[in-house]
Amino acid sequence: MSFEVTILGSGAALPTQKRNPTAQFISCSNRSILIDCGEGTQTQLRKAGVKIQKISHILISHLHGDHYFGLVGLLSTMHLLGRDQGITVYGPVELELILKLQLEIGGTKLGYSICFVPLNGLEYKCLFQDKLIEIHTFPLKHKLPTNGFLIREKQKDRSIIGDEFKSAGLSLLAIPFFKKGEDYVNELGVTYHYKDFTYFPAKAKSYAFCSDTIYFQEVVQYIKGVTVLYHEATFTEKERERAKKTMHSTAKDAAKIAFDAKVGKLLLGHLSARFDDGDLHIKEASEFFENVEVVADLNVFRL
Ligand SMILES: [Zn+2]
Protein backbone atom coordinates (compact mmCIF):
# COMPACT_ATOMS: atom_id res chain seq x y z
CA MET A 1 0.00 0.00 0.00
CA SER A 2 1.34 3.42 -0.85
CA PHE A 3 2.18 6.32 1.43
CA GLU A 4 2.55 9.62 -0.45
CA VAL A 5 2.77 13.27 0.53
CA THR A 6 1.83 15.91 -2.04
CA ILE A 7 2.88 19.46 -1.24
CA LEU A 8 0.07 21.78 -2.31
CA GLY A 9 1.50 24.94 -0.77
CA SER A 10 5.09 25.47 0.32
CA GLY A 11 5.15 29.17 1.23
CA ALA A 12 4.50 31.25 4.34
CA ALA A 13 2.04 34.09 4.95
CA LEU A 14 2.03 35.74 1.51
CA PRO A 15 1.11 33.70 -1.56
CA THR A 16 3.62 34.26 -4.39
CA GLN A 17 3.81 33.25 -8.06
CA LYS A 18 5.82 30.19 -7.04
CA ARG A 19 4.50 29.28 -3.62
CA ASN A 20 0.95 28.87 -2.33
CA PRO A 21 0.24 28.98 1.41
CA THR A 22 0.36 25.77 3.43
CA ALA A 23 -1.58 22.66 2.44
CA GLN A 24 -0.56 19.04 2.00
CA PHE A 25 -2.41 16.01 0.71
CA ILE A 26 -1.52 12.67 2.29
CA SER A 27 -2.47 9.36 0.78
CA CYS A 28 -1.75 6.57 3.26
CA SER A 29 -2.99 2.99 2.79
CA ASN A 30 -5.74 4.32 0.53
CA ARG A 31 -6.91 6.89 3.11
CA SER A 32 -7.07 10.50 1.87
CA ILE A 33 -6.09 13.19 4.36
CA LEU A 34 -5.63 16.95 3.95
CA ILE A 35 -3.34 18.84 6.31
CA ASP A 36 -4.02 22.59 6.41
CA CYS A 37 -5.93 24.39 3.72
CA GLY A 38 -4.47 27.78 2.82
CA GLU A 39 -6.00 30.00 0.17
CA GLY A 40 -5.92 28.37 -3.27
CA THR A 41 -5.80 24.80 -1.95
CA GLN A 42 -8.67 23.56 -4.09
CA THR A 43 -7.02 24.65 -7.34
CA GLN A 44 -3.77 23.02 -6.18
CA LEU A 45 -5.68 19.81 -5.44
CA ARG A 46 -6.99 19.88 -9.01
CA LYS A 47 -3.53 20.46 -10.44
CA ALA A 48 -2.23 17.54 -8.38
CA GLY A 49 -5.03 15.32 -9.72
CA VAL A 50 -6.46 14.54 -6.27
CA LYS A 51 -9.99 13.16 -6.07
CA ILE A 52 -11.33 15.69 -3.56
CA GLN A 53 -14.43 13.71 -2.64
CA LYS A 54 -12.20 10.93 -1.33
CA ILE A 55 -10.79 13.23 1.37
CA SER A 56 -12.19 11.93 4.65
CA HIS A 57 -10.10 13.83 7.23
CA ILE A 58 -9.01 17.46 7.28
CA LEU A 59 -6.45 18.50 9.91
CA ILE A 60 -5.98 22.21 10.58
CA SER A 61 -2.86 23.16 12.54
CA HIS A 62 -3.85 26.66 13.70
CA LEU A 63 -5.88 29.71 12.80
CA HIS A 64 -3.39 31.96 11.03
CA GLY A 65 -5.05 32.62 7.67
CA ASP A 66 -2.33 31.06 5.54
CA HIS A 67 -3.28 27.68 7.06
CA TYR A 68 -7.07 27.69 6.63
CA PHE A 69 -8.42 30.51 4.42
CA GLY A 70 -9.13 27.97 1.68
CA LEU A 71 -11.23 25.68 3.87
CA VAL A 72 -14.75 27.06 3.46
CA GLY A 73 -14.19 27.22 -0.30
CA LEU A 74 -13.14 23.60 -0.46
CA LEU A 75 -16.05 22.45 1.72
CA SER A 76 -18.47 24.43 -0.50
CA THR A 77 -17.05 22.90 -3.67
CA MET A 78 -17.46 19.42 -2.22
CA HIS A 79 -21.11 20.29 -1.65
CA LEU A 80 -21.61 21.75 -5.15
CA LEU A 81 -20.16 18.56 -6.63
CA GLY A 82 -22.84 16.54 -4.84
CA ARG A 83 -20.97 15.15 -1.86
CA ASP A 84 -23.17 13.23 0.56
CA GLN A 85 -20.50 11.47 2.58
CA GLY A 86 -19.57 13.05 5.91
CA ILE A 87 -16.15 14.49 6.60
CA THR A 88 -14.18 14.95 9.82
CA VAL A 89 -12.47 18.27 10.45
CA TYR A 90 -9.94 18.57 13.30
CA GLY A 91 -8.82 22.03 14.34
CA PRO A 92 -8.83 24.79 16.97
CA VAL A 93 -12.18 25.11 18.71
CA GLU A 94 -13.02 28.52 17.15
CA LEU A 95 -12.83 27.02 13.66
CA GLU A 96 -16.22 25.38 14.08
CA LEU A 97 -17.85 28.75 14.68
CA ILE A 98 -15.97 30.39 11.80
CA LEU A 99 -17.16 27.71 9.35
CA LYS A 100 -20.70 27.85 10.66
CA LEU A 101 -20.87 31.63 10.23
CA GLN A 102 -19.32 31.60 6.77
CA LEU A 103 -21.71 28.94 5.52
CA GLU A 104 -24.83 30.31 7.24
CA ILE A 105 -24.34 33.92 6.16
CA GLY A 106 -23.83 32.74 2.58
CA GLY A 107 -27.03 30.70 2.81
CA THR A 108 -25.22 27.42 2.14
CA LYS A 109 -26.66 24.26 3.61
CA LEU A 110 -24.20 21.46 3.01
CA GLY A 111 -25.53 18.19 1.63
CA TYR A 112 -23.16 16.27 3.91
CA SER A 113 -22.26 16.39 7.58
CA ILE A 114 -19.13 17.78 9.16
CA CYS A 115 -17.95 16.04 12.29
CA PHE A 116 -15.84 18.68 14.03
CA VAL A 117 -13.18 17.59 16.52
CA PRO A 118 -11.71 20.48 18.56
CA LEU A 119 -7.96 20.53 19.24
CA ASN A 120 -6.25 22.66 21.88
CA GLY A 121 -2.61 22.52 20.80
CA LEU A 122 -1.61 21.39 24.29
CA GLU A 123 -1.52 17.61 24.29
CA TYR A 124 -0.41 14.47 22.51
CA LYS A 125 -3.42 12.46 21.46
CA CYS A 126 -4.51 9.75 19.04
CA LEU A 127 -7.22 11.33 16.86
CA PHE A 128 -8.14 8.43 14.66
CA GLN A 129 -7.25 4.83 13.96
CA ASP A 130 -8.55 1.99 11.86
CA LYS A 131 -6.97 -1.30 10.88
CA LEU A 132 -4.39 0.32 8.60
CA ILE A 133 -3.47 3.80 9.87
CA GLU A 134 -3.28 6.07 12.92
CA ILE A 135 -3.45 9.87 13.13
CA HIS A 136 -1.98 11.62 16.17
CA THR A 137 -1.67 15.25 17.21
CA PHE A 138 0.97 16.90 19.40
CA PRO A 139 1.64 20.46 20.57
CA LEU A 140 3.82 22.99 18.75
CA LYS A 141 4.88 26.40 20.07
CA HIS A 142 3.64 29.39 18.12
CA LYS A 143 1.77 32.69 18.57
CA LEU A 144 -1.56 30.84 18.61
CA PRO A 145 -2.35 27.34 19.93
CA THR A 146 -0.89 25.12 17.19
CA ASN A 147 -1.13 21.39 16.50
CA GLY A 148 1.45 19.14 14.89
CA PHE A 149 0.32 15.91 13.25
CA LEU A 150 1.70 12.42 12.91
CA ILE A 151 0.33 9.87 10.45
CA ARG A 152 1.45 6.30 10.84
CA GLU A 153 0.88 3.04 9.02
CA LYS A 154 0.09 0.22 11.42
CA GLN A 155 2.75 -2.44 11.56
CA LYS A 156 1.62 -5.43 9.54
CA ASP A 157 1.80 -8.98 10.90
CA ARG A 158 4.62 -11.33 9.90
CA SER A 159 4.22 -12.85 6.43
CA ILE A 160 4.02 -16.62 5.88
CA ILE A 161 6.64 -18.29 3.65
CA GLY A 162 4.20 -20.35 1.58
CA ASP A 163 6.63 -23.04 0.35
CA GLU A 164 8.04 -23.79 3.79
CA PHE A 165 4.58 -23.91 5.28
CA LYS A 166 3.26 -26.32 2.64
CA SER A 167 6.23 -28.66 2.67
CA ALA A 168 5.99 -29.02 6.47
CA GLY A 169 2.37 -30.13 5.99
CA LEU A 170 1.27 -27.79 8.75
CA SER A 171 -2.34 -27.24 9.82
CA LEU A 172 -3.91 -23.89 8.91
CA LEU A 173 -4.43 -23.45 12.65
CA ALA A 174 -0.75 -22.48 12.85
CA ILE A 175 -1.19 -19.35 10.73
CA PRO A 176 -2.60 -16.96 13.36
CA PHE A 177 0.20 -17.95 15.77
CA PHE A 178 2.93 -17.46 13.19
CA LYS A 179 1.55 -14.10 12.02
CA LYS A 180 1.74 -12.80 15.59
CA GLY A 181 5.29 -14.12 15.99
CA GLU A 182 4.36 -17.06 18.24
CA ASP A 183 5.43 -20.70 17.98
CA TYR A 184 2.79 -23.32 17.22
CA VAL A 185 2.42 -26.61 19.09
CA ASN A 186 0.36 -29.27 17.28
CA GLU A 187 -1.91 -31.88 18.85
CA LEU A 188 1.02 -34.32 19.15
CA GLY A 189 3.02 -31.76 21.12
CA VAL A 190 5.46 -30.94 18.31
CA THR A 191 6.66 -27.32 18.36
CA TYR A 192 7.11 -25.34 15.13
CA HIS A 193 9.12 -22.14 15.38
CA TYR A 194 7.50 -19.10 13.76
CA LYS A 195 10.85 -17.83 12.49
CA ASP A 196 11.19 -20.89 10.22
CA PHE A 197 7.90 -20.16 8.48
CA THR A 198 7.61 -16.37 8.39
CA TYR A 199 9.49 -13.21 7.58
CA PHE A 200 9.13 -9.71 8.95
CA PRO A 201 7.16 -7.44 6.59
CA ALA A 202 8.37 -3.98 5.57
CA LYS A 203 8.65 -1.64 8.57
CA ALA A 204 5.59 0.59 8.99
CA LYS A 205 6.23 4.12 7.73
CA SER A 206 5.32 7.40 9.36
CA TYR A 207 5.09 11.11 8.52
CA ALA A 208 5.22 14.08 10.89
CA PHE A 209 4.08 17.63 10.16
CA CYS A 210 5.44 20.54 12.23
CA SER A 211 4.19 23.95 11.11
CA ASP A 212 4.18 26.63 12.51
CA THR A 213 6.54 26.63 15.45
CA ILE A 214 9.52 28.25 17.07
CA TYR A 215 12.38 25.83 17.91
CA PHE A 216 10.67 23.48 20.33
CA GLN A 217 12.73 20.63 21.74
CA GLU A 218 9.66 18.97 23.26
CA VAL A 219 8.39 17.74 19.89
CA VAL A 220 11.34 15.36 19.55
CA GLN A 221 9.67 12.80 21.83
CA TYR A 222 6.55 12.71 19.63
CA ILE A 223 8.23 12.33 16.26
CA LYS A 224 11.13 10.02 17.16
CA GLY A 225 12.28 7.89 14.25
CA VAL A 226 9.63 8.96 11.74
CA THR A 227 10.34 8.09 8.12
CA VAL A 228 9.87 11.68 6.94
CA LEU A 229 9.56 14.90 8.93
CA TYR A 230 8.18 18.09 7.42
CA HIS A 231 9.31 21.03 9.55
CA GLU A 232 8.73 24.67 8.84
CA ALA A 233 11.82 26.76 8.10
CA THR A 234 10.40 30.19 7.45
CA PHE A 235 13.78 31.88 7.88
CA THR A 236 17.55 31.46 7.73
CA GLU A 237 20.09 32.49 10.38
CA LYS A 238 20.25 36.07 9.09
CA GLU A 239 16.62 36.53 10.17
CA ARG A 240 17.02 34.79 13.55
CA GLU A 241 15.65 37.78 15.48
CA ARG A 242 12.62 37.92 13.22
CA ALA A 243 12.12 34.17 13.65
CA LYS A 244 12.09 34.63 17.42
CA LYS A 245 9.68 37.54 17.28
CA THR A 246 7.21 35.80 14.98
CA MET A 247 7.70 32.39 16.68
CA HIS A 248 8.94 30.63 13.59
CA SER A 249 11.94 28.37 12.96
CA THR A 250 15.09 28.74 10.93
CA ALA A 251 16.43 25.97 8.71
CA LYS A 252 19.05 25.25 11.38
CA ASP A 253 16.36 24.88 14.09
CA ALA A 254 14.48 22.38 11.93
CA ALA A 255 17.65 20.40 11.23
CA LYS A 256 18.49 20.18 14.95
CA ILE A 257 15.04 18.75 15.65
CA ALA A 258 15.45 16.24 12.78
CA PHE A 259 18.86 15.19 14.11
CA ASP A 260 17.66 14.77 17.70
CA ALA A 261 14.56 12.83 16.61
CA LYS A 262 16.69 10.59 14.34
CA VAL A 263 14.22 10.92 11.47
CA GLY A 264 14.87 9.37 8.06
CA LYS A 265 14.46 12.48 5.95
CA LEU A 266 13.74 16.17 6.55
CA LEU A 267 11.56 18.33 4.33
CA LEU A 268 11.70 22.09 4.81
CA GLY A 269 8.84 24.39 3.84
CA HIS A 270 6.77 27.45 4.81
CA LEU A 271 9.52 29.62 3.32
CA SER A 272 9.14 33.36 3.72
CA ALA A 273 8.20 35.16 0.48
CA ARG A 274 11.59 36.96 0.65
CA PHE A 275 13.38 33.79 -0.52
CA ASP A 276 13.53 33.06 -4.20
CA ASP A 277 14.89 29.56 -3.68
CA GLY A 278 15.83 27.33 -0.77
CA ASP A 279 19.58 27.09 -1.40
CA LEU A 280 20.61 28.91 1.76
CA HIS A 281 18.13 26.85 3.82
CA ILE A 282 19.75 23.65 2.54
CA LYS A 283 23.23 24.97 3.22
CA GLU A 284 22.44 25.92 6.81
CA ALA A 285 20.37 22.82 7.59
CA SER A 286 22.80 20.29 6.17
CA GLU A 287 25.43 21.27 8.73
CA PHE A 288 23.23 19.45 11.26
CA PHE A 289 21.20 17.01 9.16
CA GLU A 290 22.24 15.77 5.75
CA ASN A 291 19.16 14.15 4.22
CA VAL A 292 17.28 17.41 3.74
CA GLU A 293 15.23 18.93 0.94
CA VAL A 294 13.30 22.17 0.48
CA VAL A 295 9.85 21.43 -0.89
CA ALA A 296 8.15 23.17 -3.81
CA ASP A 297 4.48 23.30 -4.75
CA LEU A 298 3.20 20.07 -6.30
CA ASN A 299 6.22 18.03 -5.22
CA VAL A 300 5.25 14.44 -4.41
CA PHE A 301 7.20 12.40 -1.87
CA ARG A 302 6.77 8.65 -1.69
CA LEU A 303 7.69 7.30 1.72
ZN1 LIG B 1 1.25 30.76 11.94
CA of 142 to the centre of ligand 1 (A): 7
CA of 242 to the centre of ligand 1 (A): 13
* Active-site option among 36, 66, 212, 297: 66
Q: How far apart, in whole angstroms, are the C-alpha atoms of residue 10 and residue 2?
A: 22
In our burial notation (b when 16+ CB lie closer than 10 A, e otherwise), range 72-97 reads: bbbbbebbeeebeeebbbbbbeebee
CA of 64 to the centre of ligand 1 (A): 5
pTM value is: 0.91
Give the pLDDT confidence of 114-132 residue by residue, as tens digits: 999 999 999 999 999 999 9
CA distances for 48 relative to 17, 28, 146, 178, angstroms: 17, 16, 27, 41
Work out whether the CA dihedral 41, 88, 33, 294 comes out positive or negative: positive
Ion ligand 1 residues within 5 Å by Cβ? 64, 212
CA of 65 to the centre of ligand 1 (A): 8
CA of 67 to the centre of ligand 1 (A): 7
| Residues of the chain under the 50 pLDDT cut | none
Q: Give the pLDDT of residue 55.
A: 98
On whether the CB atoms of residues 297 and 8 are closer than 8 A, the answer is yes
Residues of the chain with pLDDT > 70, as a percent, come to 100
Q: Give the pLDDT of residue 276.
A: 82
Q: Give the pLDDT of residue 178.
A: 92
Q: Give the pLDDT of residue 1.
A: 75
Rounded to the nearest 5 percent, the helix, strand and coil shares of the chain are: 30, 30, 45
Give the pLDDT confidence of 217-226 residue by residue, as tens digits: 999 999 999 9
Q: How long, in residues, is the chain?
A: 303
Q: How far apart, in whole angstroms, are the C-alpha atoms of residue 88 and residue 297?
A: 25
- Strands in 114-119's sheet, in edge-to-edge order, are 114-119, 87-92, 55-59, 31-37, 23-28, 3-9, 300-302
196 flagged as catalytic: no
